[in-house]
Structure formats: structure tokens, C-alpha cells
Amino acid sequence: MELNRENWEAALEGYYKGDSLFAAPMKDHTSLAIGGAADILTSPEDPLSIRNLMVVLKREGIPFFPIGGGTNLLVRDGGIEGVVISVRAFNRIEVLQEYEGVVELFVEAGVPWQKLVNFCKEKGYSGIEGLTGIPGTVGGAICGNSGSFGREVKDVVASVVIMNSEGRLDRHNATDLGFSYRSSNIPESDIVMSANMRFRKDEAGAVAARTDRFFSEKKGTQPITEKSAGCVFRNPGETPAGRLIDEAGCKGIKRGGIEVSTVHANFFVNRGGGTSSDFMGLMDEVTARVQKKFGVALEPEIKIIGRDK
């Protein structure tokens, strides 16, 4: 099927609720503000619409890529072939049950992670204070097992509802998702829909104090208010990637509009007008310097997708 508006609307007529944007610039939908256009950017409004969308995409052989907040993501300058599926409309948080000092929440994948942190902070639910300041959505945080200050998302996940590429919904226990350092075994072709998450009940003031302390520390050591994709490289071992990059003399070096942050060397920030080519060129330079000085091969933590120009 040729991806034009007429064919697209005909294929989904009566089966889909939500927006469909054609030739959507991904720089407007990523935290880096970088990226060419996606052929189509969809924002389904309900699970049935996602299921029907997946059925059409599979039938027509159209590639797709799900996104949450567009963080931890570098889209190449040539844009994305096929369809990008945004889960931003799925943003509910509900209390499921409370028992023996524990509260279990139902959290949809499109909930901004910081919204969940703030909800727990206000209610006195403990477990993710150290994960404050992490950008993106709950779905993305689960897929990448985001972490900070010795805590990881897997520590509070009980189960996850996932829709596979054929439109089938399944609930998976957290122990079956292969959580490890900044990763899980959730396929890129599957879409996290929601999660049940467990927290300890505590005094709201105590949770707020811990959350604020962690946020203050993070704000002083990471460029969390600037345009970045989070940490660029995985920590290769006990020595953090940021320290290796710093000691290799890379802080502040630039390629086009992209700069290695002077606050934290494992963050690359877009100073304006940066391109994917700039970003990847800077990654290559940093990798080469670290390899030369320490003999360590850095591996990307960010996801790089899309077409070359």
C-alpha cells in the first residue's frame, strides 16, 4: 500500500480513533529536537485502535516504530520509513489496591515518568525517589529499565501488559521480561500498554524530602534542562562512561550544533541546529578518544533509528 492520505484513511476507516500526521518532522517529537520526517506519525486514542492499526500494518507489510516521549532516541536526518506509533494518549494512573504497607498502581505507558514520580511524592508512595528527573514515559522507562542512584524501574514493576506485532495483548510478570542494566527482552516491535507497579507506603513529607534531595543532586550533575537524549553510552564496567569521556578530554568538544556537555560528559546537548550527522560524528570522535586513551570500546545506550539521507 502506498502511504498517502487517501489510502491510509480508507484502510483504517471505522477502525481507528486518533491523529495521523503525514511527513511529521521527528525533531518536533524527540527530546534532542533532531530528526527527519516520519512517513506517518499516529497517536491512537484507545487500545482497540492500536490493535486495528497493528493488523493493517502487518497485512500491508508496513514497518512501524513505537515511541513514548522520544527520549533516549536519535532519529537520522533521513527520517523514518513507515509509521511511528505514539502512546501519549495513554496517561492514566489509578490505585488498584493497598495492603500491608504496600500500594499497587495501574500506570499506562504514555504517562510521563516525572508525572508518576510526582504522584508518588504527593501520596507518600516510596520506591522511585531516586528516579526523579528521568525524561520520557513509563513505557520507555520499562523497556530500557531506566535507573539512577542505585535504583531501577524493574524494582517497582510487578507485571506489564504488552501488545505484540499481531495485535495480541498479553500480561507478563516482571520476572519474565529479562530486565538487566538499561535493557529488557521486550521486542522493539511490541508495544507496552500499561504496568502494575508496587510501592511502599510512607509519610508524604519523607518521600518528598528524598525526592527533592535526589532531584537537586541530579540537577547539579546532569544537563536535565537542555536538549539531550540522556546518557549516550552504556557504562562499560565499574568506571562510568562519563568519567572515561571526561578524562579523555572530550568535555565541551563540538560537532556542528552538538556539544559534549560540560556538566556531564555522557550527555550530548543540541545547542541549536544540530543534526543526526553531527551527533553521530561526535559519537565517533568520543569513542575513538576513549579507545585510544583507555582501550575501552564504548557502546551506545541511545537508540539510533531511521534512514540515512
pLDDT in tens, 237-277: 889 999 999 999 999 999 999 999 999 999 999 999 999 99
Q: Over 80: is that where the pLDDT of 59 sits? A: yes
Q: What's the rounded mean pLDDT across residues 47-75? A: 94
How does pLDDT run across 204-243, given as a tens digit for each residue?
A: 999 999 999 999 999 999 999 999 999 999 999 889 999 9
CB proximity list for 197: less than 8 A, separation 6 or greater: 104, 105, 107, 156, 157, 158
CATH architecture observed for domain 228-305: Alpha-Beta Complex (3.90)
Catalytic residues: 182, 231, 301
Three cell numbers, residue 288: 575513538
CB proximity list for 6: less than 8 A, separation 6 or greater: none
pLDDT of the residue at 1: 84
DSSP designation for 88: T
What's the CATH number of domain 5-86, 2.60.40.420, 3.20.20.140, 3.30.70.141, 3.30.43.10?
A: 3.30.43.10
Q: What's the rounded mean pLDDT across residues 92-105? A: 97
Q: Please, is 151 exposed, middle or buried when counting C-beta atoms within 10 Å of its C-beta (0-12, 13-18, 19+)?
A: middle
C-beta of residue 40 within 8 angstroms of C-beta of residue 267: no
Report which secondary-structure segment, H or E, holds 211.
helix 204-221
> How many angstroms separate the Cα of 10 from the Cα of each of 4, 6, 53, 56, 112?
10, 6, 12, 11, 33
What gap in Å lies between CA 268 and CA 225, rounded to an integer? 12
- Let me know if domain 93-221 sits in CATH 3.20.20.20: no
pLDDT averaged over the chain?
95
Q: Which neighbouring-strand residues pair with 151?
A: 148
Q: What's the rounded mean pLDDT across residues 116-140? A: 96
Q: Over 90: is that where the pLDDT of 294 sits? A: yes
Q: What's the rounded mean pLDDT across residues 10-25? A: 94
Q: What's the rounded mean pLDDT across residues 64-68? A: 93
C-beta of residue 33 within 8 angstroms of C-beta of residue 27: yes
Q: Please, is 237 exposed, middle or buried when counting C-beta atoms within 10 Å of its C-beta (0-12, 13-18, 19+)?
A: exposed
DSSP designation for 131: G
What pTM did the predictor assign?
0.92
What gap in Å lies between CA 68 and CA 30, rounded to an integer? 9
What residue ranges do the domains of the chain occupy? 5-86, 93-221, 228-305
